[in-house]
Amino acid sequence: MSSQGRVTAWRVGIAVVVLGAWEGGVAAGAIDPFFLSRPSAITARVAAWIMSGTLWPHLWVTLEEALLGLAIGGVLGIAAGFALARAPLAARVLDPYIAMLNAVPRVVLAPLFLLWFGLDIWSKIALAVTLVFFVMFFNTLQGVRDADRALVNNVRMLGASERQLVRHVLMPSALTWILSSLQSSLGLAMVGAVVGEYLGATHGLGYMIAQAEGTFDTTGVFAGMTILSIVVVVTSAGVSRVERRLLRWKH
């Protein structure tokens, strides 16, 4: 069996053992299904949402909010990271302010965004942007700073313009850092969207989870969490394939 095959087998085995123990614990009376539900009931609820079409409008809203938050936060973070990496004095001046902004708990900002932008998607996008921005910013900043100084100096001696330096030296150096942060940024964007929906929304996976929680429907809560987990795993796998494709030059 190949290495990847062994990894897949272990993953499947762990899932089977955990879910089997959970289901068995409920059947044996060791676990109260009122508090933790059971895998069979959660699977049935997810299937019912899919078959009835209930899931798709909410899932689409959450994905739209997360992807827009990822795109906007990523662009702003990469642009700011490049700008401050190329302006050391400005980076030193702004460093304490950036640290203070990054230290603000994002959950505290969610009510403010709801007040400013209302219950529509923009309040959730704003929360996702605040989560994604700093991850992309710090990784871009470090990636540009880690560029080979000898290579940078040689390119400058050969008469390269600032644009050529960024395109051919700094961007490839930062690309590894940016792509490595993309997976965590995607997860954070989903978290921002769902948390915003949970606190106040009319659509989305967070809204579905909040509605289920309000009626003590633990099966609905776990079903929403399961769908969210599957979406993140699938999209992360897609990001990994893109990362491998874009970084083929490293090998």
Mean pLDDT of 196-208: 87
pTM: 0.83
Distance CA 128, CA 123 (A): 9
164: CB partners within 8 A, 6+ apart: 155
Look at residue 181 in the predicted model and tell me its pLDDT.
81
pLDDT confidence of residue 177: 79
Distance CA 166, CA 224 (A): 43
pLDDT in tens, 118-138: 888 888 999 999 999 999 999
pLDDT at 240: 76
- Mean pLDDT to the nearest integer, 53-75: 92
Q: Which of 227, 235, 237, 230 is nearest to 56 (CA)?
A: 227
Q: Cβ atoms within 10 A of the Cβ of 24, count?
A: 12
- The residue type of 231 is V
What percent of the chain shows pLDDT beyond 90? 27
At 42 the pLDDT is 93
**In whole numbers, what is the pLDDT of the chain averaged over residues?**
84
CATH 2.50.20.10 fits 55-250, yes or no: no
Query: Could you tell me which residues come within 8 angstroms of residue 243 by beta carbon, excluding any fewer than 6 positions away?
Result: 179, 180, 182
Least confident of 47-51, 149-153, 195-199: 149-153
Residue 62's Cβ-count burial label (10 Å; 0-12, 13-18, 19+) is: buried
CA 156 to chain CA mean position, Å: 37
Return the pLDDT at 102: 87
Q: What letter represents residue 130's amino acid?
A: T
Chain length of the chain: 251
